[in-house]
Amino acid sequence: MNCGYVALIGRPNVGKSTLMNHLLGQKISITSRKPQTTRHRILGINTTEQGQAVYMDTPGMHQNEKRALNRYLNRTADTTLLGVDVVVWLIDGLAWQDYDAVIFKKLARANLPVILAVNKIDKVKDKTEILAFFDEARKKYPFNDIIPVSALKNINLEQLEQLIFSKLPAQELIYPADQITDRPTRFLAAEIVREKLTRRLGDELPYALTVEIERYEDLPNISKIYATILVERDSQKNIVIGKQGEMLKKVGIDARTDIERLIEKKVYLQLWVKVKQGWSDSERALKSLGFES
């Protein structure tokens, strides 16, 4: 069987989490239109008759390192290239960005098979532009394969999966066949709450916001989850709670619905909002909140 690790890399907000979820056929990574939604390395394990592809969804590679949180995100993205077998570099449409030059250098140092996946191809009307872009891409880097895809519309994802499996080494399964991620349910629950905050608040969402599960009780007929939403200022707390608590209530309903779908059990979800000043710029605070490189 062909089994191995696959790094999904790219700039923030290019669709890496959406791609992994569609390749798995199940939602593991949270998604939104806001850059840097993904903050942790998350494994998505796909076991088929061909073998096992262990996808590593990571934060987007970016230049901004002003805060400790930004530095953590970059470290996490960079270390993804260590110990993997194949790299899938996802880019957004037929355009290069300034920071891509840095990614080219990182790939050259890693010396791994690289598949360039050009995302959102459904938005390109003139197909001759695709061929011209592919020719340009091959001059920039010796990609093993280049494939146009749409992570959201499921275009060419089966073909991408075949390319990935063809480059994985022949070996035994790395994880049990029925395992789909390396993350515990309480981590996934916290991420779902953060996703609903991101989607509900949009541009109002404080960047320095995180979710911590204080207590998780897995009872026979119901799971009780007590979560704290951390922000850095009182004004941010008011935004998250909303007028007469309406925003927090909506977020709770959205999150509970998705968590129940994930664990296939009834869920009681209690949310609090607390102010923890400066947490996003403190290495010590990040470590205590589970941000480990």
Predicted confidence band at 177 (pLDDT cuts at 50, 70, 90)? very high
Spell out the domains of the chain, with CATH numbers in brackets.
2-166 (3.40.50.300), 185-288 (3.30.300.20)
pLDDT, tens digit, 9 for 90 and up, residues 219-252: 999 999 999 999 998 999 999 999 999 999 999 9
- At 98, the pLDDT band (50, 70, 90 cuts) reads confident
What is the Cα–Cα distance from 222 to 205, expressed in whole angstroms? Answer: 30
Residue in the structure block whose two tokens are 């959205």: 254
pLDDT band at residue 57 using 50, 70 and 90 as cut-offs: confident
| Nearest alpha carbon to residue 273 among 201, 218, 184, 217 | 201
pTM above 0.75, yes or no: yes
- pLDDT beyond 60 at 36: yes
Mean pLDDT rounded to a whole number for the chain: 89
DSSP symbols for 152-218: TTTBSHHHHHHHHHHTS-B---SS-TT--BSS-HHHHHHHHHHHHHHHHHGGGS-SS-EEEEEEEEE
Write the single-letter amino acid at 101.
A
Sheet bearing 42-47, strands edge to edge: 42-47, 51-57, 2-9, 86-92, 114-119, 145-148
| Predicted confidence (pLDDT) at residue 74 exceeds the cutoff of 80 | no
pLDDT mean over 272-288: 83
Strand residues in the chain grouped as ranges (E): 2-9, 42-47, 51-57, 86-92, 114-119, 145-148, 210-218, 222-231, 266-275
CB atoms within 10 A of CB 105: 10
Q: Is the pLDDT of residue 282 over 90?
A: no
DSSP state of 123: G
173 falls in which pLDDT band (50, 70, 90)?
Answer: very high
